[in-house]
Amino acid sequence: MHDSFNVPGFLGNGVAAGIKVGGRKDLSLIFSEVPARAVGVFTTNRFKAAPVVLDMQKIQKGIAQAIIINSGNANAATGKDGDEDAASMSAAAAEVLGIDDELVLVASTGIIGEKLPIEKITRSIETLVGGLSADGMPSVAEGIITTDRFIKIECRKSSIAGKEITICGIAKGAGMIEPKMATMLSFIMTDAAVDQACLDTVFKECVDRSFNAITVDGCMSTNDTVILLANGVAGNNPIDEASGGLIEFREALLSVMDSLAQSIVRDGEGSTKLIKIMIEGAKLEADAKEIAYAIANSNLVKAAFFGEDPNWGRIISAAGATRVQFSTDSLELYIEDIPLFINGAGVSGKRAAEIMKKDTIRVLVRLGMGKEAFSLYTSDLSHEYIKINSYYHS
Amino acid sequence: MHDSFNVPGFLGNGVAAGIKVGGRKDLSLIFSEVPARAVGVFTTNRFKAAPVVLDMQKIQKGIAQAIIINSGNANAATGKDGDEDAASMSAAAAEVLGIDDELVLVASTGIIGEKLPIEKITRSIETLVGGLSADGMPSVAEGIITTDRFIKIECRKSSIAGKEITICGIAKGAGMIEPKMATMLSFIMTDAAVDQACLDTVFKECVDRSFNAITVDGCMSTNDTVILLANGVAGNNPIDEASGGLIEFREALLSVMDSLAQSIVRDGEGSTKLIKIMIEGAKLEADAKEIAYAIANSNLVKAAFFGEDPNWGRIISAAGATRVQFSTDSLELYIEDIPLFINGAGVSGKRAAEIMKKDTIRVLVRLGMGKEAFSLYTSDLSHEYIKINSYYHS
Contact B392 A344 (CB under 8 A): no
Q: Which residues contact A53 (CB under 8 A, 6 or more apart)?
A: A83, A86
Mean pLDDT of A306-322: 89
Examine the pLDDT at B130 and tell me if it is beyond 90.
yes
* Percent of chain B scoring above 90 in pLDDT: 68
What Å distances lie between residue B125 and A121, A257, B23, B51, B138, CA to CA?
A: 76, 62, 16, 17, 18
Domain assignments of chain B as residue spans, ordered by start: 3-266, 274-390
Q: Which residues contact B233 (CB under 8 A, 6 or more apart)?
A: B8, B9, B33, B34, B191
Write out the H or E segment, with its range, that includes residue B385.
Answer: helix B383-390
Note whether A7 and A137 are within 8 A (CB).
yes
For residues A30 and A190, give the distance between their C-alpha atoms in angstroms, rounded to a whole number.
12
Min distance A90 CA to chain B CA atoms (Å): 22
Q: Which residues contact B138 (CB under 8 A, 6 or more apart)?
A: B2, B5, B151, B153
Examine the pLDDT at B2 and tell me if it is beyond 80.
no
Closest CA to B140 of B352, B129, B230: B129
Question: What band does B291 get if pLDDT is binned at 50, 70 and 90?
Answer: very high
Question: What band does B181 get if pLDDT is binned at 50, 70 and 90?
Answer: very low
**Which of B76, B346, B392 lies closest to A309 in CB terms?**
B392
Closest CA to B132 of B250, B6, B47: B6
Q: Strands A332-335 and A104-111: what pairing?
A: unpaired
* Of the candidate ranges A42-51, A190-199, B76-85, B217-226, the one whose mean pLDDT is the lowest: B217-226
Q: What is the ipTM of this complex?
A: 0.76
Examine the pLDDT at B37 and tell me if it is beyond 70.
yes
Closest CA to A173 of A190, A139, A140, A150: A150
Contact B77 A385 (CB under 8 A): no
Note whether A43 and A51 are within 8 A (CB).
no
**Which of A353, A388, A390 lies closest to B394 in CB terms?**
A353
Identify the sign of the CA torsion B219, B221, B222, B228.
negative
Four-point Cα dihedral B314, B319, B321, B324, nearest 10? -170
Closest CA to A334 of A280, A372, A380, A377: A280
Examine the pLDDT at B180 and tell me if it is beyond 70.
no
Alpha helix (H) residue ranges in B267-332 = 285-296, 299-306, 312-320
For residues A337 and B274, give the distance between their C-alpha atoms in angstroms, rounded to a whole number.
42
For residue B3, the model assigns a pLDDT of 57
Determine the topology of domain B3-266 in CATH: L-amino peptidase D-ALA esterase/amidase (3.60.70)
Q: For A289-303, what is each residue's pLDDT tens digit? A: 999 999 998 888 998
| Mean pLDDT, chain B, integer | 90
Size of chain B, expressed as the number of residues it contains: 394
Residue A100 burial (10 A CB sphere; 0-12, 13-18, 19+): exposed
A positions 123-182 inside 8 Å of B (CB): 179-180, 182
CB contacts of A76 in chain B (<8 Å) are 313
Alpha helix (H) residue ranges in chain A = 50-58, 79-97, 118-122, 125-130, 137-144, 196-209, 246-266, 285-296, 299-306, 312-320, 352-355, 383-390
Q: For B248-265, what is each residue's pLDDT tens digit? A: 999 999 999 999 988 888
Q: For B358-391, what is each residue's pLDDT tens digit? A: 999 999 999 999 999 999 999 898 888 888 777 6
Determine the topology of domain A274-390 in CATH: Ubiquitin-like (UB roll) (3.10.20)
Contact A314 B180 (CB under 8 A): yes
Q: Active-site residues of B: which are they? A: 183
The dihedrals phi and psi of A2, each to the nearest 5 degrees, come to: -100, 35
Which chain A residue has the Cα nearest residue B300?
Answer: A389
Examine the pLDDT at A193 and tell me if it is beyond 70.
yes
Beta strand extents in B102-224 (DSSP E only): 104-111, 152-160, 163-172, 181-182, 185-190, 214-215
For residues A357 and A346, give the distance between their C-alpha atoms in angstroms, rounded to a whole number.
21
Q: Strands B274-282 and B360-366: what pairing?
A: parallel
Q: For A28-54, what is each residue's pLDDT tens digit? A: 999 999 999 999 999 888 889 999 999
Four-point Cα dihedral A43, A47, A51, A56, nearest 10? 50
Higher pLDDT, A17 or A216: A17
Examine the pLDDT at A147 and tell me if it is beyond 80.
no
Q: Is A91 helix (H, G, I), strand (E, B) or coil?
A: helix
DSSP-derived secondary structure letter, B322: S
